[in-house]
Amino acid sequence: MRRYLLAIDQGTTGTTALLIDRSLSLLGKVTIDFPQHFPKPGWVEHNPEEIWSSVAKAVCRVLFDTNIRSSEIAAIGITNQRETVLPWDRNSGEPAANAIVWQCRRTRDLCQQMKQDGLEELFQKRTGLVLDPYFSGTKMRWLLDHVAGLRRRAEQGTIAFGTIDSFLVWRLSGGRAHVTDVSNASRTLLMDLKSLAWDDELLSQLKIPRETLPEIKPSAEIYAETRGLDFLPDGIPIAGMAGDQQAALFGQACFAAGEGKCTYGTGAFLLINTGDQPIPSHSGMLTTVAWQVQNQTCYALEGSSFIAGAAVQWLRDGLGLIKSSAEIEALAASVADSGEIVFIPALTGLGAPHWNAEARGSITGLTRGTTAAHLARATLEGVALQIHDLTKAMNNDRGGPLAEFKVDGGAAGNNLLMQMQADFLSLPVIRPKTIETTALGAAMLAGLAIGFWSNLDQLRAQWQEERRFVPQMGKDERARILDRWQQAIKKI
């Protein structure tokens, strides 16, 4: 009997395979790391075969560890690092070049030239994105221009382009499906947000042949079945796909407009469901497709903070104040407040809504009485205050406050940080029972496609809360901390 869902979470540094059942219980999880390649300063690449190998190993090991037979897998859901892109040969399935990773900055000059040519407004209006090397379209253009013979092969129809979700479906299906979902397509600079189709004018500006691109599909439907693999049997439906942050939003059951989640990792990603209409941002946010499920398209606003968990890593590795990241909570909790210290963790510039690439981190308010505990507490406050600024900007774009704020990611396990977040937002912060919300979202999409659940209400009923942090800080103290933060921001 096929009763389990397999989620493949293909990330930047590793691939996670996760098994869940109909009750959304986590049965097993395995992560296999793979190498990063840095051919030049600012360049980041992945070897597609190393990615594929990590997928196969993770799937095999999670089945072995859980003693679940592959014949019991009802469907496969896929979530992925979103903007990373690669070309491969349609006939052989062999990669035509390494994947260019979302972190890679090699197309900076191309983006700058396009801005000088007056194209930024066109791309932002059509796609909800900004002209930045982050996104896939300029990476495709670079590959076509710099990999010998690739443009000729693309124009002859023998090259397929895709983000990692497309590549995995191609491989899993034995080359029988070249597809992507709307959430991943919305991160390419090539898809019109309203029509959910590849835009010919944008393709022309980037000189990308339309025939190289995958078919854009909803986020929950059967795209293909497994075929010709040595680690899974033929016939398993590949049935759900979403980019990692959208998958986390879905995995958090943020199905209604005004519901949002923040994923706290090295950086932090905040997404807020905006319902069935894309909302243009006037605050430096991104407008993106969240998912398309059961003939309904859902949009989101997205903002990211470059430094979250990385600030704690800096205290550990750079300053040696703590031996492990887990120690920061107890150290920060050993003092009642930060002693007037403000730490702006702009260690790689400031992201949304400030967008100051030249900003550098700052620590103000130091006195002879300052201790490591004060700095630890100020660090956690700095992480939470950045998310406060993102939330405020998104509320301004939406014209209303958040209805709900859910959290996930490694740093969401820090109770003090989550309490700070609730206090600064003046909003309950909700942590789920299953913290692996990205992979969970992919599995939920796959299960929806094959009938494990018939609607979103059934999925919402399955989602479980682990803890709720309610605001405890007084209005005056909150206002004082926020004002001190804004004054410090203005000085950098």
> Does residue 260 surpass a pLDDT of 70?
yes
Q: What pLDDT, on a 0 to 100 scale, did the predictor assign at position 357? A: 65
Q: What pLDDT, on a 0 to 100 scale, did the predictor assign at position 42? A: 82
| 4-235 and 253-492 agree in CATH topology | yes
For the chain, the helix, strand and coil percentages under 3-state DSSP, each to the nearest 5: 40, 25, 35
Please give the average per-residue pLDDT across 27-45, as a whole number.
Answer: 90
**AA identity, residue 450:** I
Indicate the pTM of the whole model. Answer: 0.90
| CA 13, chain centre distance (Å) | 13
Bridge partners, 300 (sequence order): 273, 288
Lowest average pLDDT, out of 68-82, 348-362, 374-388, 393-407, goes to 348-362
Helix (H) or strand (E) holding 215: strand 215-217
Higher pLDDT, 281 or 49: 49
The overall average pLDDT reported for the chain is 92
Q: What pLDDT, on a 0 to 100 scale, did the predictor assign at position 386? A: 93
Q: Are 367 and 243 in contact (CB under 8 A)?
A: no
Using CA atoms, how far apart are residues 73 and 52, in angstroms rounded to an integer? 20
Q: What pLDDT, on a 0 to 100 scale, did the predictor assign at position 1? A: 65
Helices (H), 117-163: 120-127, 136-146, 150-155
> Does residue 306 surpass a pLDDT of 80?
no
Collapsing DSSP to helix, strand or coil, 230 comes out as coil
**AA identity, residue 338:** S
**Domain 253-492, architecture per CATH:** 2-Layer Sandwich (3.30)
pLDDT single digits (tens) 313-331: 889 988 898 888 889 999 9
What CA–CA distances, in Å, run from 304 to 307, 392, 450? 9, 13, 33
Percentage of the chain beyond pLDDT 70 is 100
- Record the tokens describing residue 167, joined without a space: 């590549």
4-235: CATH number: 3.30.420.40
Confidence tier at 184 by pLDDT (50, 70, 90): very high
Q: Are 107 and 142 in contact (CB under 8 A)?
A: yes
pLDDT single digits (tens) 201-230: 999 999 999 999 999 999 999 999 999 999
> Does residue 23 surpass a pLDDT of 90?
no
- Longest CA–CA span in the chain (Å) reads 70
Helix (H) or strand (E) holding 394: helix 372-398
Confidence tier at 136 by pLDDT (50, 70, 90): very high
Domain boundaries, the chain: 4-235, 253-492
Q: How many helices (H) and strands (E) does the chain have?
A: 16, 23
Q: Are 130 and 116 in contact (CB under 8 A)?
A: no
> Does residue 435 surpass a pLDDT of 90?
no
Using only C-alpha atoms, the chain has a radius of gyration, in whole angstroms, of: 22
Q: What pLDDT, on a 0 to 100 scale, did the predictor assign at position 228? A: 94
